[in-house]
Chains A and B, each alone.
Chain A
Amino acid sequence: MSAQAAEEPYPPRTPHASAAGAPPGRVARSLAGALPRAFAARGATDSAVDAGTRPTPTAKPRTPRQAKGPRILNVPTGPLLVGLLAVLVATMMVAISIGSVTIPVVDVWQIVWHHLTGAGAAADPALDQIVWNFRTPRVVLAALVGAGLAVAGVVLQAVVANPLADPYVLGVSSGASLGAVMVITMAGGALGGLGVSAAAFAGAMVAVALVFVLGLTRGRLAPTRLVLSGVAVGYLFLAGTSYLQLQATPTELRSVMFWMLGSVAGAKWNQLGLVSTVVLTSTVFLALFGRQLNALLAGDESATALGVDVHRLRGALLVLSSLLTGTVIAVAGGIGFVGLMIPHLVRLAVGADHRRLLPLAAVVGAIYLVVVDLLSRTVNRPNELPLGILTALFGAPFFLWLLRRNKTLDAS
């Protein structure tokens, strides 16, 4: 402590009349680097005042509130990730076991394990059918969709430097909605043969391409311009969607509404291959850019001075996250709020280092959507609620509570 202080390159400030040695708050703060946070915050204040300690140049004493770090969870990434993955698997097992017929979690585990490894005995065919063919694909899709939306949200918030950004900020959802609504309301007509998913993906890509073109200035993608272009294109496509909805029959309208609010009810094993490939590879790939994403937080010019090719990076990340979002929305519809809330929630808990944030957000997003999907099919049995309603209903109050207890946001 005193050795470190003696190395300080500054002359000490003239001692305060009030301070016998160093002000205790100052000492406690300088200890915070060396001791676990919990210690520094509680115990150090009274014990560590050292007559020989010179004041560090840390300027004025601060209130204890600010001496506390920004993190809620200060656990290393590896163990945290393993723990959360275990929670995810457990949640998925519980979600599979609950339904119109409740199946014990142990049986669920045996059936799933049997299918994955071939080990153990085959179960009762009826149970096997329910678990493996109906519920498991649905729960797996929910997890993939939640992970994909959370990852896309994290990346877009950093890339367009806007905390309000979510995966749909570039018009993906409005484009996908228009595509889906066209197929639902004009089935067998102009788009004959094209499935809802394919049309939604095509619509999403058209919208994003339009936003990219409008967002280009002198060959570069400027964040503010991109966001505003996304809003404008969103309204444009919404006009088409609304017009088609007015022409629709009540039955069509119901399925349009259900699609737009999102659902994983129609999950089939044969679609999971593509979705899981896209979600897992893009998550791994985006996580590789963690260091560069961190540099982007310093601002475009500073990131450039850190050796990051900001414009190429932004382009690559936007294309990648748009493909990810487009894929997810094509199979699950427009599930809102997850891609906005989960990134903020995880950032508040573990900080903004993207090498840590991206994988953790993916797992938390997966857990969240598995739980929400479980609720969507249990709270109003036998009817199902769209996921978009529940993500917001449960997510918003929790998010607000979290915002209120995080004081560091007020400082900026």
Chain B
Amino acid sequence: MKLTVDGLHVTLDHQPILRDVSLDAAQGDIVGLIGPNGSGKSTLLRAVYRSLRPAQGVVRVAGDDVWKLPARTAARRTAAVLQDSNSNAVGLCVQEIVALGRTPHHGLLGRDGAEDHRAVAEAMDACGARPLAERDFASLSGGERQRVLLARALAQKPKLLVLDELTNHLDIRARFELLDLIRGTGTTTLAVLHDLDLAARLCDHLVVLDEGVVAAAGKVLDVLTPDVLREVFGVRAVAERHADGVIRITYGADPLALHDTTTDPAASAASAEPSDHTPPAPVPPAHPTPLTPTAHEAQAPVPG
């Protein structure tokens, strides 16, 4: 359902971490949260999955302020896959890990029923985790683990998925498999991502956090402008929609040379190095194709 974050201020140890952060996600939207390390992305997620109470502002999931809902009710709406530092799942098999997703659906005396078994089975099927059901979680590969944790989140039957760095440390195939899975769920998703290329592929909208404030928000190409990439991420790069319809980021020959205005990274990628291993060339404005109706968006100014 709909996620609304409105005027969120969060402080940790009297330090402001987030200042006046607002964002929206419509039903089924995948919103990517990007920004440099320490910009407050995980903190924002914590306020959404009800782990860190904001000093000010509201988080609404499906219309209700999550901080006014009981923890269990909120957890039936929002599921999270996180980078947990003190997880200690020795001795739990995959099926049991996925079944943890049913925790918010039961009180102290609740026993697993048919609905729980069905939810667990569907979640495992959706994530291709069924063949792993009896395996010890500790024996899985990184990609398998993330798929199982995603299945756990789906078993929660959430209206909102919150993902923190789901694709970290995974090989490239596993990354793309996870992207497909997330898109396949059809659930409204708020995902913190470090890899801008993956963010551009996966997300409908992006929100850029920089030092606790929203630096840019909107459609992928409206957000990933050369200015934002330079000011927030500190690299020289352009994001462009290629002939196959995919938005890719091209980094300059020297991505760290921020003040060198003589070479445009797009120009250098397109024309200065047209060798045979160049990735699919960014579409030059000279001959637009039907696949690239928005090629001009690459130069659109930053809103806000």
Chain A residues in the interface with B (C-beta under 8 A): 4, 7-10, 13, 26, 29-30, 32-33, 37, 56-60, 66-67, 69-71, 158, 161-163, 223, 288-289, 291-292, 294-295, 297-302, 304-309, 347-348, 351-353, 408-409, 411-412
Contact = CB atoms under 8 A, between A and B. Distances in A.
Interface residues of B, number: 58
A301 B84 contact: yes
B2 interface: no
A304 B51 contact: yes
B141 to A, nearest CB: 6
Given A10-B128, A10-B177, A69-B136, 13 more contacts: A29-B135, A58-B131, A69-B93, A71-B93, A161-B88, A294-B96, A295-B103, A297-B90, A298-B87, A299-B84, A302-B87, A305-B50, A352-B91
Given A300-B86, A304-B50, A353 B96 contact: yes
A299 B96 contact: no
A301 B81 CA distance: 9
Contacts of B72: 307
B74 A307 contact: yes
A348 B104 CA distance: 27
B93 A297 contact: no
Contacts of A297: 87-90, 92
Given A10-B128, A58-B128, A299-B84, A412 B92 contact: no
B104 A306 contact: yes
A7 B125 contact: yes
A59 B88 contact: no
A304 B91 contact: no
B80 A302 contact: yes
A278 to B, nearest CB: 20
A68 B128 CA distance: 19
B159 to A, nearest CB: 14
A9 B180 CA distance: 8
B219 interface: no
Contacts of B93: 69-71, 351
Nearest to B129: A58
Contact of B90 (A13, A295, A305, A409): A409
B90 A33 contact: no
B101 interface: yes
A298 B100 contact: yes
Nearest to A357: B91
Given A9-B184, A301-B84, A69 B135 contact: yes
B51 to A, nearest CB: 4
Given A291-B103, A347-B91, A353-B96, A302 B144 contact: no
Contacts, number: 158
B80 A59 contact: no
Contacts of A348: 91
Contact of A352 (B78, B92, B139, B144): B92
A308 B177 CA distance: 30
Nearest to B158: A305
A26 B76 CA distance: 35
A288 B108 contact: yes
Contact of B75 (A4, A71, A306): A306
A11 to B, nearest CB: 9
Contact of A306 (B73, B88, B134, B156): B156
B138 interface: yes
A184 to B, nearest CB: 39
23 contacts: A7-B125, A8-B128, A9-B126, A13-B173, A29-B131, A33-B133, A57-B128, A58-B131, A60-B141, A66-B135, A162-B88, A291-B110, A295-B103, A298-B84, A299-B85, A301-B82, A302-B80, A304-B49, A305-B82, A306-B75, A347-B90, A351-B91, A412-B138
B62 to A, nearest CB: 15
Interface string B178-198: 001100100000000000000
Nearest to A408: B136
Contacts of A9: 126, 128, 180-181, 184
Nearest to A302: B84
B68 interface: no
A56 B128 contact: yes
Contacts of A300: 84, 86
A56 B131 contact: yes
B92 A306 contact: no
B93 to A, nearest CB: 6
B270 interface: no
A331 to B, nearest CB: 29
A29 B79 CA distance: 29
A67 B132 CA distance: 9
B103 A292 contact: yes
Contacts of A158: 88
A307 B128 contact: no
Interface in B92-142: 92-93, 96-97, 100-101, 103-104, 106, 108-110, 125-126, 128, 130-136, 138-139, 141
